[in-house]
Every structure is written in structure tokens, then in C-alpha cells.
Amino acid sequence: MRSHRKLSAAAAAALLALTSLTACGGGSSAASAPGSRNNKLKIMVGGLDKVIYLPARLTQQLGYFEDEGVHVILLTEPAGVQATTSLVSGDVQGVVGFYDHTLDLQAKGKQVESVVQLAHAPGEVEVVSRKAAGEITSPRDFKGKKLGVTGLGSSTDFLTKYLAVKNGVRPEEFTPVAVGAGQTFLAALQQGSIQGGMTTDPTVARIVDQNLGKVLVDMRTPEGSQQALGGPYPSSSLYMNTDWVNDNKATVQKLANAFARTLKWMSTHTAEQIAAKMPADYAQGGKELYVQAIKDTLPMFTKDGVMPANGPETVERVLKAFNPNLRNASIDLGKTYTTEFVKKSPAAAGKE
């Protein structure tokens, strides 16, 4: 799974289209060594306009990738599970998605690791539609319901199943429905194809603003994560194939430097200042609503990119609660993340 692996014609066309849509750099991928000015590193994001993955686009907007001498093309997929597929197939060099996929992949024989931990809380919210609010007052009421997730096998799917199991509802007693995020999630909620579901900002802010539903379980803060999941839940991260990391340490260090610098910048700036740096079309519900979405979600982010203490153990416990494949697997948590690069970054050393 190397960065020079040739793509199929269909995959190449899809990547070209996505690159054009995200306007994250032009031209074809160069064949130069990783990390050079001419080389383009492809990073797939599980939804570029989601606030939980905001550091990816913000790093680019601030110019930190280029400052490090790496040209990053940010691609987007609506669900983290699809982004993971792109990584495993070798189509991209990294993914900005949920850390829990590293455990899931290890159980399937794939070695992937988080190299920058962007968040220590999920940033996810379980919402219930206005029409179903009277019959769904907690996850205990999930039985027999249709609940939206970004994609089957996604982190929203994982967390929804855990909330159900924790509250006495078996995964087979409710129906997860893949509805994506943003407008597709809103439409599913409004049309009644789902009674509730798990999503993130800015979708949550639009649901509340349009009175389409209300918040049932809020995991946008460490406190919310503790209450719902029993501990810190490291979520958004930059994860990569371990073999690629070992073969390209200089490049990974530059990526870690850029992301750590962004996280530090975010910790010293307001939601308004952050929103001003982002593309205008990300604020689909209006600028004020977008600022509020960022403000509500900011507590989920780390300030240094370091994995939170006991975070991997929480994720393992959550996944094993409902996933028999993981329950019966022996997971080496030490191989699912590394702090080698972020701890060497200038931001972490106080030089930024």
C-alpha cells in the first residue's frame, strides 16, 4: 500500500472529480519523493464540511501544509468507513476520520495507526425528530426504530449501537439507516424515513434551528463523552497505514507539525475567527449558525494532537460491547496510535 500505487481508471477519475470539487490543488500527482514541493499527498476526509473534521481544511487554509513543504490534496467522502476503504486500497496516503477504525481494522488483519489525535470526544450528537420526541426520550427507546447513521460500519453506526446496548437494546432490535450528513440527513428526518439519528455540526445546528428535532445525547464535550461512554473517546484523527508511516517518517513529521500548529492556533482563537478562515460555502445554514456550530464543537479538540490518557481503552470497551468480531479479538492498543511525531512538533515544544 504505497503512495505510488497505480489507481484504476475509475478510481483516478473519481479522485480527479473530488479534487476539483474541493479546490484543494490542481494538476496530476507527481512521482517525486514524498514530502517534496512537487509531490501531492492525498488525504481522504470523512466529510470535509463537518466541524468534527475542521482541522483538516483549516490547516490548509492557514497555509501550514505548504509551510512544511508538503502539498496536500484533501478529498472527501460522506462517511468515515468509505474513507477507510480508500486508505486500505492504497488510493490515499492518509485519512482524517475516527480513531476507532484503527481497532476495527486491526481485528481484520490491517495495521493502521493514528499519528495525530485531533479530538478527545466524539463530537457526535444523537438527535430525535420533532414527531418522534414523545416516544424516544432516551436510548432505551431505540427498539423498533429507524435511526440514521452516516454509513453502515461508520463511527456513527458504532456509537449508536453502543448507546443501544448500554441501555438494554440489542443491535438487531433497531434499524440503522445510512443517510449521510447535511441535507440528506435533514431530509430523512423531515420526511420520517428515520425517527432519529447520529450526526455532527453543522447539521445539528440546522436541525435545532429549523425545529426539525432536538438533542437526545450530546457528545461534543469531554463531559458529554464521559457521561455517555464512560470516559474520553478519541475520535477525529489523522490515521495512516503503519507501513507507510515507517517508510515515510520525514513526511509524517511534517504533517504532524502542520496539524499540531493548527490545533494550537484553534485553542487561542474564537469560533468567529475560525469561521472566518473557512470556505464561505461551509456555512450552508448561515454564518451565525456556522459560528455557533463551531463554538459548540470546539471543546472536543485536543490542543496538542496527543492521544488522551485512557482514551484507547474507552474505545476498545465501547466497540467490544456490541461487536463480536472485536470482542473475540486480542487488540494491541499500542499499535493503534503513536505520539512519536506530535511530541516532536515545534508547536508541542512551545516554539510556535
Residues 15 and 42: beta-carbon distance below 8 Å: yes
Res 144: pLDDT: 97
Cα 15 to Cα 34, 54, 205, distances in angstroms: 19, 21, 30
Res 325: pLDDT: 83
Alpha helix segments (H runs only) across 116-241 = 155-166, 183-191, 203-209, 222-229
Residues 236 and 297: beta-carbon distance below 8 Å: no
Sign of the dihedral through C-alpha 117, 303, 155, 182 = negative
Domain ranges of the chain: 9-121+234-344, 124-219
The neighbouring-strand residues paired with 114 are 239, 337
Res 194: pLDDT: 98
What's the pLDDT tens digit per position in 222-237?
999 999 999 999 999 9
Which residues fall within 8 angstroms of residue 14, CB to CB, at 6 or more apart?
none
Residues 126 and 200: beta-carbon distance below 8 Å: no
Res 33: pLDDT: 39
Q: Which fold has domain 124-219?
A: D-Maltodextrin-Binding Protein; domain 2 (3.40.190)
Q: What distance in Å separates the CA atoms of residue 219 and residue 228, rounded to the nearest whole number?
A: 7
Res 82: pLDDT: 75
Q: Do domains 9-121+234-344 and 124-219 have the same CATH topology?
A: yes
Res 17: pLDDT: 38
Q: What distance in Å separates the CA atoms of residue 302 and residue 165, rounded to the nearest whole number?
A: 28
Res 209: pLDDT: 94
The upper half-sphere exposure of residue 29, i.e. CA atoms within 13 Å in the direction of its Cβ, equals 24
Residues 172 and 99: beta-carbon distance below 8 Å: no
- Render each residue's pLDDT in the chain as its tens digit; 352 residues: 333 433 443 444 343 333 333 333 333 233 333 444 446 899 999 889 999 999 999 999 999 999 999 999 999 987 667 788 889 889 999 999 999 999 999 999 999 999 999 999 999 999 999 999 999 999 999 999 999 999 998 889 999 999 999 999 999 999 999 999 899 999 999 999 999 999 999 999 999 999 999 999 999 999 999 999 999 999 999 999 999 999 999 999 999 999 999 999 999 999 999 999 999 999 988 999 999 999 999 999 999 999 999 999 999 999 999 988 899 899 999 999 999 999 999 987 776 6
Q: What distance in Å separates the CA atoms of residue 337 and residue 59, rounded to the nearest whole number?
A: 21
**Predicted model pTM:** 0.85
Res 79: pLDDT: 65
| Lookup: cell for 84 | 477507510
Alpha helix segments (H runs only) across the chain = 9-22, 54-61, 64-67, 80-88, 100-107, 155-166, 183-191, 203-209, 222-229, 242-247, 249-267, 271-277, 287-297, 311-320, 324-327
Q: What distance in Å separates the CA atoms of residue 321 and residue 327, rounded to the nearest whole number?
A: 7
CATH 3.40.50.2300 is held by the domain 9-121+234-344: no
| Omega of the bond leading into 202 within 30 degrees of 0 (cis) | yes
